[in-house]
């Protein structure tokens, strides 16, 4: 895949690439002669297609298994389906026995999401251990009554 500047008849060079994490991809190419920029946007399906063809954008292959992860997550309702991918993960929050017990009362299909919300809440405040008390304040602060 190449982008050409029509005016200059030059191949545009890769400038910037962004993978927002929702499976989409954006890439910016720039004409070395006139500086004109063009951007390519790909939806998750196109991104996956590009990835499966082994096309490299900006010297790196598009991360694989984006759709794969979503699919298995939806099918099995895994708790970690809503967790962030490992490389960008901030320090973990420990869950106390009581907190885990209480999380167990949350319906399994939303448990992963609820756990993530609580975990993010704790991380943002530098709280290292999740306890029922932290869950209480998170509920109040975030308006999560019933979780
Ligand atoms: Zn040009």
pLDDT tens, residue by residue, 74-119: 555 555 555 555 555 567 899 999 999 998 988 888 888 888 889 9
28: CA distance to ligand 1 center in Å? Answer: 14
Tell me: do 91 and 59 sit in the same domain: no
Beta-carbon contacts of 87 under 8 Å, excluding residues fewer than 6 positions away, are none
Do 82 and 69 meet the contact criterion of CB atoms below 8 Å apart? Answer: no
Q: pLDDT band for position 147 (50/70/90)?
A: low
Tell me: do 88 and 130 sit in the same domain: yes
The range of the structural domain enclosing residue 96 comes to: 79-142
Beta-carbon contacts of 111 under 8 Å, excluding residues fewer than 6 positions away, are 79, 103
Tell me: do 22 and 58 sit in the same domain: yes
The overall average pLDDT reported for the chain is 77
Instruction: List the shell of residues around ion ligand 1, using CB closer than 5 Å.
Output: 5, 7-8, 31, 33-34, 36
Q: Is residue 72 part of a domain?
A: no
- pLDDT score recorded for residue 94: 93
Domain count of the fold of the chain: 2
Determine which helix (DSSP H) or strand (DSSP E) holds 133, and give its type and residue range: helix 132-142
Tell me: do 61 and 85 sit in the same domain: no
Tell me: do 123 and 92 sit in the same domain: yes
7: CA distance to ligand 1 center in Å? Answer: 5
pLDDT in tens, 59-73: 555 555 555 555 554
41: CA distance to ligand 1 center in Å? Answer: 20
Residue among 70, 66, 90 at smallest CA distance from 80? 70
């Amino acid at each position: 895949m190449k982008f050409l500047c029509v005016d200059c008849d030059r191949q545009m060079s890769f400038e910037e690439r962004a993978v927002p994490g929702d499976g989409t991809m954006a890439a910016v190419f720039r004409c070395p002669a006139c500086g004109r920029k063009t951007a390519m946007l790909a939806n998750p399906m196109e991104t996956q297609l590009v990835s499966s063809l082994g096309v490299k954008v900006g010297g790196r292959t598009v991360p694989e298994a984006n759709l794969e992860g979503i699919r298995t997550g939806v099918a099995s309702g895994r708790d970690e389906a809503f967790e962030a991918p490992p490389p960008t993960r901030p320090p973990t929050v420990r869950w106390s026995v009581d907190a885990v017990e209480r999380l167990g009362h949350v319906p399994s299909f939303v448990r992963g999401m609820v756990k993530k919300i609580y975990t993010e809440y704790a991380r943002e405040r530098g709280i290292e251990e999740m306890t029922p008390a932290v869950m209480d304040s998170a509920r109040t602060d975030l308006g999560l009554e019933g979780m």
